Amino acid sequence: MDDRRTVKVSKYVSKHLRHQPERIGLVLDPQGWVEIDELLEAAAAHGFPVSRAELDHVVATNDKQRFAVEGTRIRANQGHTVTVDLDLPEAEPPAYLYHGTVAHAVDAIRSEGLRPMARHHVHLSADRETATRVGARRGRPVVLSVDAAAMRAAGHVFRLSANGVWLVDAVPPRFLRFR
């Protein structure tokens, strides 16, 4: 499978497991899982046939490890805008985490902090490099440092997704460092 097809399949699957399952007739269970055969049948019925081999390739090679397969089921690891409970346990974060954004968002973040917007959680990275790549998706990146240790001490709950993305409900401005 060539790189363009891999990206296309990944985006299609991500869209329907994270944001619009109903668009192709999928019903996710409360934790976001769906039978792989149902996903493949729905994709084909809606004009985007995907083979099991292509899906397996996308799951195995996705650099962000967006998807999890468990037996005959698949789900997105995080980033949902549809209601799901990923049932992730609380986790102890490192002292600092990072968030990649773009310059035009910084003023709002300074006053309001980081909010999940259309998603269920704010996504944080364990290293600056990853946060830089995330921020660069929409322009010139700005990387913010999050004092995760202070947040945790103040009672904020952190969760770690299966693909290493740290999730938190919000990050108040006082825990952010703008450098």
What's the pLDDT tens digit per position in 32-56? 999 999 999 999 999 999 999 999 9
> Do residues 78 and 121 lie in contact, with contact meaning Cβ atoms separated by under 8 Å?
yes
Angle between helix axes 36-45 and 52-61 (nearest 10 degrees) is 110
What pLDDT digit, counting tens, does each position of 160-179 carry? 998 899 999 999 999 999 86
Torsion of CA 60, 63, 66, 71, to 10 degrees: 10
pTM assigned to the model: 0.77
Mean of pLDDT values over 128-143: 92
Of all helices (H) and strands (E), which one includes residue 147? strand 141-147
